[in-house]
Structures are given as C-alpha cells and as structure tokens.
Amino acid sequence: MAEENNQYTFENESYRKTYWHTCSHILAQAVKRLYPEVKLAIGPSIDEGFYYDMDSPFAFTPEILEKIEAEMRKICKEKLKLERFELPREEALKFMEEKGEPFKVELIQDLPEDAHISFYKQGEFTDLCAGPHLDSTGRVKGNGIKLTACNAAYWRGDSNRETLQRIYGIAFPKKEELDAYLARIEEAKRRDHRKLGKELGLFMLTDEGPGFPFFLPKGMVLKNTLIDYWRQVHKKYGYVEIATPIILNRRLWERSGHWDHYKENMYTTVIDGEDYAIKPMNCPGGMLVYASEPHSYRDLPLRVGELGLVHRHELSGALHGLFRVRCFTQDDAHIFMTWDQMKDEIKNVVKLFDEVYSVFGLSYQIEVSTMPEDHMGDKKDWDFATETLEAAIQELGKDYIINEGDGAFYGPKLDFHLADSLGRTWQCGTIQLDMQLPERFELEYTGEDGQKHRPVMIHRVVLGSIERFIGVITEHFAGAFPAWLAPVQVKVLPITDRAAEYAKEVAARLDGDGFRVETDLRNEKIGKKIREAQLQKIPYMLVVGDKEAEDGTVAVRTRAGGDQGAMSLAEFSEILRAEVDSKIIK
C-alpha cells in the first residue's frame, strides 16, 4: 500500500524521472516556439533534473533562459495532452527531414531496421522519443521549474562533432521544494572545495599541470593528519603497510589485464628500450609482494594496506578540482584469505568502514553489485561470493540495495555511498571480491593438508582517493574542520604590542603540548584579528592582553563566535586535548 501511495510522488524514482523527462520536452517546445531556427538534439532526465542539447546560432544568455522559462510555464498552463505514436522507418525519416531536424534524422538512421520508432506529440510540438512521459503538460507545475545553466556539449560526446548548447533545468511539484533545492545549491556553491581550498590555503591547481593538484603547507597538514588516522585505524584492524613502485614494466600490466583493457587511461614510457607504465592502480604491485615469499594457511588472512600514488589519464573536460584528477593517493588494501574466511573478513572491513565514516559524521547506503555479462570465472564461484557478501552485511544488520550486473569483471562488490551534510552522496568506499588476479599471478598458500591452494582476495578502499576525500570533507564541513583535523587548531591574538611576548609564550607552550598553533602579532585592532581568524575557520582563538599576561590566563573564543571566558592555559590545553583525542565534531 505504501508503494501505491508513493506511485505519483517524487519519492518514487520512476515517477521523478518521468516528470523530469516530460520537462525536457516542455523545454524543447518552448525553445521551438520562441526560436524556430534552433535544431534539437537529445533531452533526457538525469540524476537531478533534465537537460536538452540544441544547435543554436546564438548563445542562450541568462535573459533568454528567463524567456524560455516563462514560455515553459505557459505550456504547463495549457495542459497539453502527450500522445505517443509510431511510424515506420522511412516515414519517420521523412517526418524529421521535413521538420528540418538533422540530429533527429541521424538518430533514426542509427536505429535497428526493425526498431519501433516512437514519437510524442504535445500541441503543435512533436519529438522523437522512447518515453515514458506524463499524460499532460498540466501535470508539471510551472512555478516549480528553473533553468539552472547552459554549457557547451559535443554531439554524441564526440569532440570531432558539432558543439551544441546544453540547457540544464530542475523542476518540482511544489515551489517550496524548488526553493529548498535552489537554497541547497547556493549553499553547495559556498562550500565548493575549489573556492575554500584557495581561501584556506590548502591546495592549488595550475595550467602547468591540469589535473595534478599542488598541496600547500596547510593542505599538507590536513592530508598528513588524515593519513596518520588511516594508519592508526588500520593497525588496530590488523593490517600491515607496504609501498610499491610507481613505474612497472609492460609485462606486469599485460599479466594483470590492464594493458589490454585500460591502456588508454595509462601513462606509458620507455626505459632501456622496454615499455613501462605509471601505475593506474596498486593491485598488481600488491600481487608481486604476496608472491615474493611462500605462505601457509597459518598466515591467512593477510591484510596488506598501501597508500599508493596512482596516475590515470582523464579527459580534460572531466577534470574537477580534487574530485576528478589525474594523480591521487589510493588508500588500497588487499586481503588474501581462504574461501571459508571470506565472510568474517568482509564483516571486519565493514566494521572498519563504520568506525572511519562515523568519525566524519558521514552516513552511508550500501549497494551490492552482482555479476556483469562480461565477467571471468565460474558462475558457481560468483554465486557463492555474492551470497557471502549479502550474508555478511545481513549479519551486521545493515540495509542494502542490489545493483544487478554492475560488479567488476573479476568479482562482485559492495559500494558505500556516503551522504554529506547537504544530503549529497559520494561513492568512496568499496569492497571487491576477486577470484581472478590470484589466478593470473598464480598466488598460492600451503593448506592444512600440505597441498598448494589458491587464495581468494578482497580489494578495498575506505577513503577511495585521499585527495577526493579531502574535497568531500572540505564541502561537508564547509572548511570548518573539527579540531583534530584543522590545519591550525589555535590562533593566539594579542590585544596590544605589550602582550606580544606573552602571546609567543602561550603559543610555545601549546606547541610543546602537540597542538598546531599560530600567532597574529600584527598591529591591528583585535576585532579585525578575530574576524580574520574566523574567516580562516580556526577552531579556537585565544585573546591575550595585559590582564591575561598578569594573571597567566587566556580569553577563549570559538570560531562560531562563542566567548568561552577566561581560563588558565593548562585548563584550555586539557579541554583541547580531550576534543582532539576523541575526534569530536563541533
């Protein structure tokens, strides 16, 4: 009954996608009414809203987008019925040729000879489309529509083809939902890690190295603090750490399968007349480490972690701050185990993920990805591995959804989709079972029976890419990192030059206690110093003047503007130590 009640609401993904798909047709109709010379390409729904690609002799400026929006609202009020019909191939081609829509003609030409070629008509407008759609434009609420952007896009994603204009839009059944969405988008812009990274002095991106981020001193403090925590938690869960070379020869990558299946994304070079590649992932190096010495069943499970710098050739148009880069630190781990250890090891990894994500206040949704059509290995092994994944998370009391056919070619996997403070999701953690690489690299262990056996393996990352995770948490915390992560934890602010020496003493004592501290000794008003420290999102400010110097105290302020009053330096140090050690989020 609950599903029936939600059938025609945005809680139902299918209805939401249908609503947005209908909006894309309303957008196209509005454009053709106002600007008949524009040629239409494609207009699907997407994860958030819809878009339509168009070939226009002029740019769609913000002023033009406003006119199009207004026309879309009119079309909604007209309550035009959407009618589906089909045409034979030749008639369909003639229909679109007469309308002067060359992109539609090309799409029809590329359809199979026996394809059902369907169209949707609404009023005077007809579009080539497989659907589905709402039954009337009146189902879409005009005051809930907003065109959000217009960017360039290549026809069919081919950089050698026509450059089109892609108009993006969003729509909701209620204006209040639209307003809330737009407010969230504005907040996301305020939290953009590229903007905050520059303002807070964390990292920089240059034209000299597109996709290759530079970490600045404060960014390195943040990155190293994150890595230190990674090492602590992995030691607790029984991992050892290794490091493997960045460049390895072609024979290795052929053996792993990457040379045949991933070469276009790899950077290659020649050394002593032999082909080499910069590693796009750490796994093959990890296989060599395991194979370097004999193993017994007593050694298993063997949990091996690596913070390896990897390089992948991404298209320039796909690069995006720290979210999509060409080099990053992958926090890989490989667990070598027997088949009967598989379930317990999966549960152990999930518990580690729980501990790590909770520290950052990130919740998650688990997705089980099953055997794809293009896979290696026996179905019997796949079934056992998939059932074991599901059983492990069920025993932990975790909810999950099934993503049919989206596993890796070598085994099923669990993907962890993290939800941040704005409700956005990020795919970071993954647990992948691999029955193939141990076979390719002929990995073995000696069993209790004295015979040689093949181990099974888990690939897993918890943060994914250290760089990308820094981007995620920068936006999650809006740059206001909890004290344990903050590049600068305390700033000491003398009110006058007379208190400068005492400010230095306070900073030196806190530094000796292991805290990250700075002083602001400029000859500026204290109000300005406080405001600038708040803009730098420093967790604590210690204001010191003549009275504090005389009493041996500090006046404590938090970045949120809270005045905590005066206290001894020892008392403040104890408070901060407890906050840092417990990794409290404030």
Catalytic residue list contains 420: no
Instruction: Let me know if 67 is a catalytic residue.
Output: no
Residues of the chain with CATH 3.30.980.10: 2-190
Q: Among residues 21, 218, 324, 459, which one is catalytic? A: 459
For CATH 3.30.930.10, the residue range(s) in the chain are 197-244+279-361+430-476
- Whether 280 and 298 have beta carbons less than 8 Å apart is answered as no
Residue 5's pLDDT is 52
For domain 490-582, give its CATH number from 1.10.1040.10, 3.30.43.10, 3.40.50.300, 3.40.50.800.
3.40.50.800
Name the residue among 158, 91, 155, 122 with its Cα closest to residue 24.
122
Asked if 313 and 326 touch (Cβ cutoff 8 Å), the reply is: yes
454 catalytic residue (yes or no): no
User: For residue 349, what are the contacts with CB-CB under 8 A and spacing of at least 6?
Assistant: 335, 431, 458, 460
413 assigned to active site:
yes
Q: What's residue 383's pLDDT?
A: 87
Buried b (16+ CB within 10 A) or exposed e, 52-63: bbbbbeeebeee
Cα(174)–Cα(350) distance, rounded to whole angstroms?
A: 39
**Of 127, 332, 420, 434, catalytic:** 332
Identify the bridge partners of residue 557 per DSSP, sorted by sequence position: 541, 563
What fold, for 197-244+279-361+430-476?
BirA Bifunctional Protein; domain 2 (3.30.930)
Bridge partners of 555?
Answer: 543, 566
Residue of 23, 76, 129, 283 marked catalytic: 283
Alpha carbon distances (Å) from 445 to 302, 415, 534: 11, 29, 57
The full DSSP string for 466-477 is: HHHHHHHHHHHT
pLDDT at 6: 62
Lookup: tokens for 420 = 């941040």
Q: pLDDT digits over 124-173, tens only? A: 999 999 999 999 999 999 999 999 999 999 999 888 899 999 999 999 99
Q: Which residues of the chain have pLDDT under 70?
A: 1-6
Predicted model pTM = 0.85
Check residue 2 and give its pLDDT. 39
Q: What is the pLDDT, as a whole number, of residue 4?
A: 45
Task: Give domain 2-190's CATH number out of 3.90.180.10, 3.30.980.10, 3.60.15.10, 3.40.470.10.
Answer: 3.30.980.10
Active-site position among 32, 279, 324, 413:
413
Among 307, 304, 294, 398, smallest CA distance to 350 is for 398
Nearest to 437 by CA among 412, 407, 458: 458
Answer yes or no: 476 catalytic: no
Marked catalytic residue, from 16, 312, 468, 529: 312
Say whether 525 sits in a helix, a strand or coil: coil
Which is catalytic among the residues 29, 122, 165, 330? 330
Q: Which of 355, 356, 421, 361 is nearest to 584 (CA)?
A: 361
Q: Is 499 helix (H, G, I), strand (E, B) or coil?
A: helix
Task: Give per-residue pLDDT as tens, 187-207.
Answer: 999 999 999 999 999 999 999
Residue 516 is among the residues annotated as catalytic for this protein:
no
- Residue span(s) of the chain under CATH 3.40.50.800 come to 490-582
At residue 441, the pLDDT reads 94
Of 334, 460, 516, 559, the catalytic one is: 334
Active site residue 129: no
Region of residue 377 (left: phi > 0; alpha: psi -120 to 50; beta: else): left
